[in-house]
Amino acid sequence: MPDVDFKDPNRAIDVNYLKGVASQVREDIIVAVGTAKSGHSGGSLSVTDILVSLYFGKMRHDPSNPKWPDRDRLLLSKGHAAPALYSTLAEAGYLQRDELKTLRKMGSRLQGHPDPKKVPGIEIPGGPEGIGLSEGIGMAIAAKLDGRESRIYVITGDGELDEGECWEAAMAAVKFKLDNLTAIVDRNGLQQEGKTSDIMPSDSVADKFRAFNWNVIEIDGNDIPAVLDALNKAEKVSGRPTVIVAKTIKGKGVDFMENKVVYHAKVLTDEEVENALKQIRAARGK
């Protein structure tokens, strides 16, 4: 467990340290998916910097007491990025890194898609797309009713926005003035079968949310300082929810995987695993 008090909202944030954590998380993702010979690496690598920024640079949480009622909550609505979430939780001290090698195996707590019954720190089940934002609304309403400071963060995929329920939720979050809710769209531009712009054109994600009267921030979602800055700005908005449309690169950090549709859920060969790990380690001078 890192020697950081994640409950302290004013804890010192060292961007270089966060970058190191993100690099380690990417390594863990490759090892986990490579060992499982199954799982979603592309969308895990795209969302890594967002997860690390949240858990290490923004959220108030407590790995030694995952159910701390006043915690901020991260809801990974794009549950197929489970390897990224598990790896981040491991770095934060919720899990042992070794356990990541049990991903998707019989008897493991690390289900193919997150299961809050099994893993401490997981807030919602993942799997079918489009549900997380609704669940986040429920939690944000509950936090306000109970007078808690908790902030609710929901990460959705951009392909996920094909689901109608996302837009039911987009309307409702504004109705209930949920300024304690921040949605983050992992805008990597790809989904299982191709470019989001081809499968179901969604080029105007930001405009769509603006039309629903959300506060909208557009950033580079693989740039940790930019993510932290956006999260801080979102916290200052009152009376309405914020969406951070975070442009990312699917497969980020491994050149042969970047922006390649096929790595959505490709079984990684041993050679690909070795190659990817070499690149990730070299990039952080290891």
Partner 1 sequence: MKRSRMHSSRYALQEESDLMDQKPISMREAIGNALIEMGSTNKDLMVVGADTTESLHLMPFGEKYPGRLVNIGIAEQNMIGISSGLALSGKTVFCGTYMVFIERALDQIRNTLAYCKLNVKIIGAHTGISVGPDGGSHQTIEDIAMMRALANMRVLVPSDAYTARRLAIEAANEKGPFYIRLIRGTVPDVHGDQEIKIGKSSTLKDGKDVSIIACGIMVHEALKAAEMLSKEGISARVIDCYSIKPIDEETVLKAANETKGIVTAEDHNIYGGLGSAVAELLSRKRPTRIEMVAVNDTFGESGNPSELMIKYGISAQNIFDKAKELVK
Name the residues that contact partner 1, by CB under 8 A: 69, 115-117, 123-125, 127-128, 130-143, 145-146, 164-165, 168-169, 171-172, 176
Nearer to partner 1, 99 or 115 (CB): 115
Nearer to partner 1, 161 or 276 (CB): 161
Would the CA dihedral through 186, 191, 196, 200 be positive or negative? negative
Are residues 19 and 284 in contact, defined by beta-carbon separation less than 8 angstroms?
yes
Structure tokens that stand for 151 in this block: 């902030």
Cβ 103 to partner 1 shortest distance, Å: 19
Tell the residue number behind the tokens 């531009």, with chain if given.
189
Cβ 137 to partner 1 shortest distance, Å: 5
Round to whole Å and give the CA distance between 53 and 225. 8
Work out the angle at residue 76's Cα, subtended by the Cα atoms of residues 66 and 39, and round it to the nearest 5 degrees: 105
Nearer to partner 1, 168 or 223 (CB): 168
Q: State which amino acid sits at residue 2.
A: P
* Burial of residue 149 (number of CB atoms within 10 Å: 0-12, 13-18, 19+): exposed
Cβ 259 to partner 1 shortest distance, Å: 30
Tell the residue number behind the tokens 């805008």, with chain if given.
187
Provide the CA 34 distance to its chain's centre, in angstroms.
20
Nearer to partner 1, 164 or 285 (CB): 164
Cβ 119 to partner 1 shortest distance, Å: 12
Nearer to partner 1, 17 or 176 (CB): 176
Cβ 74 to partner 1 shortest distance, Å: 13
